[in-house]
Amino acid sequence: MQRKVFDRLPGDRVSVTAIWVPVNREQSWDELQTNAHREQPRWLTDPRAVNFTDSTRRAAMAWAPVLDIKPLYGVQLPAWDVYLVFGPDARWGPPGAPPPAPAFWMHQLSTGAPANSIRLNPDQLRARIEAMLPK
């Protein structure tokens, strides 16, 4: 997915941050690091990409209510397999504050996504990012 989106977005006005989280089962930080390192070449080879691992899923859980991801059987689902686009006006609060809402987002969620959310379409994602870039 990444190559289709970011290879055609030149310059330093775009950056990518990937947060690797365990979803289907718990993973230690070391195991998650190993798995993320193995998968990164498939998805995030752009030199503007920064990769983090979050074995506690703290980031994925923080974004779930911001994106209106619905709980399943009373358990809040994490925001994973989501692609969030922020403009230059996004403001990040202090640690512990909710993250900002993205200007646009897409997902590959099978459950919990709000009805008005958009399934990942790499070409459409790239077009939305391009539209946000200064001319």
pLDDT confidence of residue 1: 52
* Contact predicate 86/100, CB 8 Å: yes
Q: Is it the case that residue 78 has pLDDT exceeding 80?
A: yes
- For residue 52, give its domain range: 2-132
Dig out the tokens for 30 from the structure.
């070391």
Q: Tell me the range of 11-15, 29-33, 68-72 where mean pLDDT is highest.
A: 68-72
pLDDT confidence of residue 47: 77
Q: Is it the case that residue 52 has pLDDT exceeding 70?
A: yes
* Number of domains comprising the chain: 1
Four-CA torsion 111, 108, 81, 100, nearest 10 degrees = -80
Do the bridges between strand 82-85 and strand 49-53 make them parallel or antiparallel, or are there none, so unpaired?
A: unpaired
Report how far apart the first and last C-alpha atoms of the chain are (Å, whole number): 25
Higher pLDDT, 123 or 37: 123
